[in-house]
Each structure stands twice: as C-alpha cells, then as structure tokens.
C-alpha cells in the first residue's frame, strides 16, 4: 500500500500525513506566533519571517535550530532543500524575536505556502 501523499494539501487533514510531516522535521521549541512580511525598499523586496517567543532563551535556541534546519532540512511538501528555498537566509535573535531575512524573488510566496502546509518552522 502506498504511503500518504505529502504533496497534496488536502491530505493534511489526514493524521497519517501530519505524522509523516512531523517525523521528517526536527521541531523547534514552542513559540507564540509568526509573522511573514515582504517590504519594498525601492530596489529590492526582501522577506522577513518573525517568530515571537516567550523569552530570549527560547528565541536564541530556536535561532540556532532554524540555521541548522535551513542548512540541512528539506521541505516535505516539495522535497526541495530549504537552503534553495531560502538562499542566503540570515537568522538573528533579538530579545524574544527570531528574524529570518531572505532576499530572494520567491521567498514570500514560498514561506506563506509552507505556513499554510504546516511545514514552515514547525514547533513541538
């Protein structure tokens, strides 16, 4: 019997699929919320992904995990390496916020799609 189709967004309501997604990614420490923005500065349109944490220690720990995830992880929905989806991503932790800055043409659309598919920086 074939396994669950991880590329079908409608299959995300299937517990088999969500379990498979969880098994493929190292979850981050819990965080309170996420904001994805794209802004235009007159020349470029960088994307910022902000993860809000309860305290600076969990933000610092997740910043390190996110760097490792981008360097080595794969998006389970597309099977693309995260380093290709978010090329040259810069990850910083300031107080209780982790900021992931990406200056790539398609980063905003891909980040929002990954968020919708529950594959963008999942937490445990």
Q: In CATH, what number is assigned to the domain containing residue 84? A: 3.10.28
- Extract the residue ranges of the chain whose pLDDT is less than 50: 1-7, 10
Q: Has residue 124 been placed in a domain?
A: no
Quick one: pLDDT at residue 4? 43
Residue 51: give the domain boundaries. Answer: 28-116
pLDDT in tens, 60-88: 999 999 999 999 999 888 889 999 999 99
Q: Cβ atoms within 10 A of the Cβ of 60, count?
A: 17
Question: What's phi and psi for 68, nearest 5 deg?
Answer: -65, -40
Quick one: pLDDT at residue 20? 56
Report how many domains make up the chain.
1
Q: Has residue 41 been placed in a domain?
A: yes
Quick one: pLDDT at residue 101? 97
Q: Has residue 90 been placed in a domain?
A: yes
> Strand 33-38's sheet: what is its strand order?
33-38, 47-52, 97-102, 90-94
Q: Has residue 87 been placed in a domain?
A: yes
Q: Has residue 19 been placed in a domain?
A: no
Q: Has residue 6 been placed in a domain?
A: no
């Amino acid at each position: 019997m074939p396994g669950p189709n991880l590329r079908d967004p409608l299959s995300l309501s299937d517990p088999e699929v969500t379990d498979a997604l969880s098994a493929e990614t190292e979850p981050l420490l819990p965080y309170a919320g996420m904001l994805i923005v794209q802004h235009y500065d007159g020349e470029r349109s960088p994307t910022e992904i902000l993860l809000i944490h309860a305290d600076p220690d969990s933000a610092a720990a997740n910043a390190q995990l996110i760097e490792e995830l981008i360097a080595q992880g794969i998006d389970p929905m597309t099977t693309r390496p995260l380093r290709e989806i978010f090329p040259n991503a810069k990850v910083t932790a300031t107080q209780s916020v982790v900021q992931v800055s990406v200056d790539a043409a398609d980063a905003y659309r891909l980040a929002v799609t990954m968020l919708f598919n529950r594959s963008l920086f999942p937490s445990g």
